[in-house]
Homo-oligomer: A and B are copies of this chain.
Amino acid sequence: MEERFLRSYDPAQYERPSVAVDLLLLTIEDGQLKVLLERRAEPPYEGCWALPGVFVGLQESLETAVARCLSEETGLSDIFFEQLYTWGDVGRDPRLRVISVSYMALVPAVRLHPVAGRRVQEVGWFAVPEALPAMAFDHARMLRCAVERLRGKVDYTDIAFHFVPPRFTLPELQRVYEILLGHELYKANFRKKILPRVRATEKLTQGESHRPSRLYEYRGGSCEEEKNDV
């Protein structure tokens, strides 16, 4: 009853938590799923690695905050992302109350090569879950949650396409699926499943000492959201 009154009366005057967005920036490189982490320069969790994140300004949407964070980390502004989960335990940050909205962002490794991030801190890409360092706050749990969600969506959505460039070969895409699912797939079956969702181009790969592979494009529009361009 009191809270009711509180709510309708003047919630603005009560103390509020801080709100942040935290980023699960994922890519696939060297046959592994990798996540971007930053080393913390001061307490708490000094020296630990943490997910990139920013506080949400009073005049910006969650998506704008995510785009801002992505731009800082990669220099890119058209990376696909989607909201995952909001973490609000009282003690998750020992300094102050922070409610954190986590987002998963997926990017093809080739787009990252000239690492154009304007980051000051030390950053690194870590293989998941093989090569993860000690992580700050509840970020290890966030990561597990993200990977679980990603794995779950691989079979019934086209989310895996976000890990390959606009033109890709089917063997290349198959490797992405295999890495995400954690087991090998049969070429023939994979192609039967994927072919309706892609469009063949005229081009073939070149320069390798074996039969070249045809390049395909995503046919789009089917079951996955588009890139969150800004």
Contacts and interface: CB of A to CB of B under 8 A. Distances in A.
Which 6 residue pairs are nearest across A and B when measured between Cβ atoms?
A62-B88, A16-B16, A86-B86, A15-B58, A11-B55, A12-B96
A6 interface: yes
A129 B64 CA distance: 32
A101 B86 CA distance: 8
Interface of A: 1, 3-4, 6-8, 11-12, 14-19, 41-42, 53-63, 68, 72, 83, 85-86, 88-90, 95-99, 101, 118, 120-121
A11 B95 CA distance: 10
A58 B97 contact: yes
Contact of A89 (B4, B61, B83, B120): B61
Contact of A55 (B14, B53, B59): B14
17 contacts: A7-B54, A7-B55, A8-B41, A8-B42, A11-B96, A16-B16, A19-B88, A56-B99, A58-B97, A59-B90, A60-B90, A61-B88, A61-B89, A62-B86, A63-B88, A83-B86, A99-B101
Contacts of A56: 17, 88, 99
B120 A4 contact: yes
B17 A16 contact: yes
Residue among A11, A54, A72, A89 with max Cβ neighbours from chain B (10 Å): A11
Contact of A19 (B16, B55, B58, B63): B16
Contacts of A57: 14
B88 A55 contact: no
Nearest to A62: B88
